[in-house]
Amino acid sequence: MVSIARKNLFEDLPRFMVAQAGIMFAVSLVTIQTGLLEGFGRSSTLLIDRSKADIWVASKEIRYLDLTLPIDYERLNEAAAVEGVELAEALVLRGAIWQQSTDGEIDPVRVVGFDSGGELFQPWAVQSGQVSELDESYGVMIDRVDQRNLNITGIGDTAGLNDYPAIVKGFTQGIRSIVTSPYVFTSLENANLYLNFPRFDDADPPEFAPSLNPETPIQFILIRVDADYDLETVRQDLQLTLPDQRIMTTAELSQLTRAYWRSSTGVGFILGLGAIVGIIVGTVIVGQILYSSVSDRLQEYGTLKAMGASDWYLYRIIIEQALWMAIMGYIPGLILSLTVGAWTMETRAIRILITPETAATVFTVTVTMCTGAALFAIQKVTHLDPAIVFKS
């Protein structure tokens, strides 16, 4: 049986190569679309997942990470005073306008203001420069991936940020979200100046950024719970202390953000649709190739049947062909997907997340796709009359 299946598979090499190309395309499409969907979810919660906070305090009206109302800075001290809170830090996350210094072209960015000496949030993967330099007036840090789009050639370049100077002090590598504008990291004080003090054309920029006051708007308070206290108990106490705020664990905020982008937008639907299209394309191609292969060898199958071969014996030949096609199409398809994923991550910081679970799922889908396509060819053999052997 093995020799017959392999002989049928490799006898017509051009047909075999067309089939493998189709399967490889289908595997790549399904893998990339699935990886994009998974990477998309991870990308939307990048800042959340990489923080060291146990609890996030936000406005009650929050929809997801990037859509929330401000809260007063004075809430930070109130949260820090709750028993069991080991550390509390403020985080600013708001949109702003980046203006290139050469031609004045503008781009949307997301300003991330944080405590540069804090512990709960720090930019990671810092490639050059020091985070402490962001405390200097107008000091900012951007990602290497956004360097070209924001027209920055190196450290020390200056651009405009909400009509104030922005001096690049360093670069990160790979901190990029598919769903938002480029991140611009800076200190809380600089973020306060950029976002809360509109500058008029005839006004000189201040030498130092103003200090934060109790009414300064921030977006989040990050909380680390003391190891000797129960997280849920501390969260309940925080809710009693701050009844007009929403208290969430890091996992809850991450889930809220992912659910918004997958369910409230068409992204999840589009990526899932692409994967379904890949499966359909692969099934049609494999089904057509196997059906043609069986049709061309009806007399051979009729001979086997006339010699006493059971229908199941013939079915196994066709199914084995389908399995070989699945395996030999899956491997190059997966390699191609990993290559594309590495390229998109390096050039655009777009993560195509292909986990072992994803690879195993796609392999199962590929085998199911090919064996399902074999059913079309099996139907041809099912109704085969052994007398066909004696027909000219």
Looking at per-residue pLDDT, the higher value among 341 and 380 belongs to 341
pLDDT-derived band of residue 1, with 50, 70 and 90 as boundaries?
Answer: very low
Residue 248: predicted pLDDT: 96
The per-residue pLDDT for 310 is 76
| Residues 64, 267 contacting (CB under 8 angstroms) | no
Look up residue 350 and give its two tokens: 């777009």
What per-residue confidence (pLDDT) applies to 390?
57
Which of 106-120, 164-178, 350-364 tops mean pLDDT? 106-120
> DSSP secondary structure string, 169-219?
EEEESS---TTSPPEEEEEHHHHHHHHHS---TTSPPPSSPPPP-TT-EES
Question: Which residue type sits at 103?
Answer: D
pLDDT tops 60 at residue 275: yes
Residue bearing the bigger pLDDT, 230 or 370: 230
User: Measured between alpha carbons, how far is 54 from 248 in angstroms, rounded to an integer?
Assistant: 9
The pLDDT-based confidence of 365 (bands split at 50, 70, 90) is confident
Higher pLDDT, 344 or 296: 344
User: 165 or 319: whose pLDDT is higher?
Assistant: 165
136: left (phi over 0), alpha (psi -120 to 50) or beta: beta
Q: Average the pLDDT over 140-151 and give the result.
A: 91
**Is residue 186 predicted with pLDDT exceeding 50?**
yes
What is the rounded CA–CA span in Å between residue 273 and residue 268?
8
Q: What angle do CA 197, 115, 85 make, to 5 degrees?
A: 120
CA angle 164, 148, 180 (to 5 degrees): 70
Joined together, the tokens standing for residue 312 give 């199941």
The larger pLDDT score, comparing residue 189 to residue 385, is at: 189
Confidence of residue 346 (pLDDT cuts 50, 70, 90): confident
Across the chain, what does the average pLDDT equal?
85
Given a cut of 80, is residue 200 above it in pLDDT?
no
How far is it, in rounded angstroms, from Cα 178 to Cα 345?
Answer: 11
Residue 376 pLDDT greater than 90, yes or no: no
Confidence of residue 2 (pLDDT cuts 50, 70, 90): very low
96 or 285, higher pLDDT: 96
Let me know: does 364 contact 357? Beta carbons within 8 Å.
Answer: no
| pLDDT: which is higher, 174 or 142 | 142
For position 385, what pLDDT does the model report? 61
> Residue holding tokens 């609890």?
55
Secondary structure letter of residue 204 according to DSSP: P
pLDDT score recorded for residue 107? 93
Mean pLDDT (whole number) for 211-226: 94
3-state secondary structure at position 38: helix
Give the Cβ contact number of residue 274 at 10 Å. Answer: 16
Contact status, residue 86 vs residue 132, Cβ threshold 8 Å: no
pLDDT for 297 equals 66
What is the pLDDT, as a whole number, of residue 9? 66
Average pLDDT over residues 31-48: 84
Write out the E strands in the chain: 55-59, 71-72, 85-99, 106-114, 126-128, 139-143, 158-161, 164-172, 183-187, 217-218, 220-225, 245-249
Comparing 387 with 19, which gets the higher pLDDT? 19
Amino acid at 85: V
Backbone angles phi, psi at 91, to 5 degrees: -140, 130
354 or 289: which carries more pLDDT confidence? 354
User: Which of 2-6, 67-71, 296-300 is predicted most confidently?
Assistant: 67-71
Q: What span, in angstroms and rounded, lies between the C-alpha atoms of 334 and 31?
A: 7
pLDDT at 61 over 90: yes
pTM of the model: 0.78
